[in-house]
A and B are shown apart, each in its own frame.
Chain A
Amino acid sequence: MLFFSYFKDLMGREVTVELKNDLAIRGTLHSVDQYLNIKLENTRVVDQDKYPHMLSVRNCFIRGSVVRYVQLPPDGVDIELLHDATRREARGG
């Protein structure tokens, strides 16, 4: 549940989701769920010339399992909070 909580705190921020098929989508994080499925708003594909498939798509739902990375805003991370939450989560597991 650690990353679910983390992404909930990040709602409204701009992120870039890189998928396993190498497509990268930049957008505003609208919502997330326990599977880390992501809904993005105001989306733009990063390399639009290479991937013209989604030129007119502005909102999308991304299945969590197809995500490779999520590039996060550098100031969207409270490092100490993450460290503490990780230690607590790791102990519980």
Chain B
Amino acid sequence: MATEEDSAVKEPLDLIRLSLDERIYVKLRSDRELRGKLHAYDQHLNMILGDVEEIVTTVEIDDETYEEIVWTTRRTVPFLFVRGDGVILVSPPLRTA
């Protein structure tokens, strides 16, 4: 009775459902990114991720040379609840080299 509904991809949230129990990439506000396994989500894009790596990107401007120094801070968290209002986009993980 419900199987047809389960596999039908009708709206954007259904695309996220396809990534359940898969690794995903999440872009957040404040120049943050997450890579982890999607365990749960809701219509607000609140999520629970497992084995998460968070990457925070910071840009410093040198006072003298005015050059932009871009650096990233990484950390890992075993299980993380992410509040949906910080989420910008959700995607399968991007393959970088």
A residues at B contact (CB < 8 Å): 2-3, 6, 20, 36, 64-65, 67-74, 76-77, 79, 82-83, 85-87, 89-91, 93
B residues at A contact (CB < 8 Å): 2, 5-6, 13-14, 16-17, 20-21, 30, 39-43, 46, 48, 50, 77-83, 85-86
**Which of A3, A6, A83 has the largest count of B CB atoms less than 10 A from its CB?**
A3
- Which of B13, B14, B79, B85 contacts A71 (CB under 8 A)? B79
Cβ–Cβ contact A91 & B6, under 8 A = yes
Using known A-B contacts A71-B80, A72-B79, A77-B39, determine if residue A6 contacts B48 with beta carbons closer than 8 Å: yes
Cβ–Cβ contact B41 & A86, under 8 A = yes
Residues of A within 8 A of B40 (CB): 2-3, 6, 82-83, 85-86
Number of A-B contacts (CB under 8 A): 79
Cβ–Cβ contact B20 & A2, under 8 A = no
Cβ–Cβ contact A70 & B81, under 8 A = yes
CB nearest to A10 among chain B residues: B81
CB nearest to A78 among chain B residues: B39
